[in-house]
């Protein structure tokens, strides 16, 4: 005799195992995927020459002295002197800051802020790497 009121037990353990394996495979392979868009770049004219922007190098030593070419300033005197000397350089010049690793963060940021306030926007901090 068949008992129609019995409810069958569903064993979902194999389904959960398969889903966990698929999830693990997905988590491992997703970071390795690289999406690359195929684009065609426009042709440029080879006759025009791009002029190189002038460069300005500022060095800051561990003893808080700022060197701008042949000029030497104390770090506290740098902003005023730099504003006076900025007329010698184009405002779109690339400014490189080379600061000693022993300097405090606030000293490097003080020099960077002074250069930005003088109107220069192309500023790079140089490192050994």
Residue 121 contacts by C-beta under 8 Å, 6 or more apart in sequence?
92
Pair type for strands 65-68 and 55-60: antiparallel
pLDDT tens string, the chain, 129 residues long: the values are: 677 777 777 788 989 999 999 999 988 888 776 655 454 555 655 655 555 656 788 988 888 899 888 888 999 999 999 999 888 888 888 888 888 888 888 998 999 999 999 999 888 888 765
pLDDT of 39 reads: 44
Global pTM? 0.57
Q: Which domains are present in the chain?
A: 55-125 (3.30.420.270)
For the record, the structure tokens of 46 come out as: 């080879």
């Amino acid at each position: 005799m068949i008992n129609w009121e019995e409810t069958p037990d569903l064993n979902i353990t194999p389904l959960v195992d398969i889903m966990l394996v698929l999830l693990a495979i997905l988590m491992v392979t997703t970071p390795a995927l690289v999406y690359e868009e195929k684009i065609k770049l426009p042709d440029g004219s080879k006759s025009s020459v791009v002029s190189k922007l002038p460069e300005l190098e500022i060095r800051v030593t561990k003893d808080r002295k700022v060197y701008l070419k042949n000029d030497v300033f104390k770090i506290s005197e740098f902003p005023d002197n730099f504003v006076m000397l900025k007329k010698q350089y184009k405002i779109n010049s690339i400014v490189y800051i080379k600061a000693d690793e022993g300097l405090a963060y606030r000293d490097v940021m003080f020099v960077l802020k002074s250069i930005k306030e003088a109107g220069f926007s192309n500023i790079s901090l140089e490192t050994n790497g």
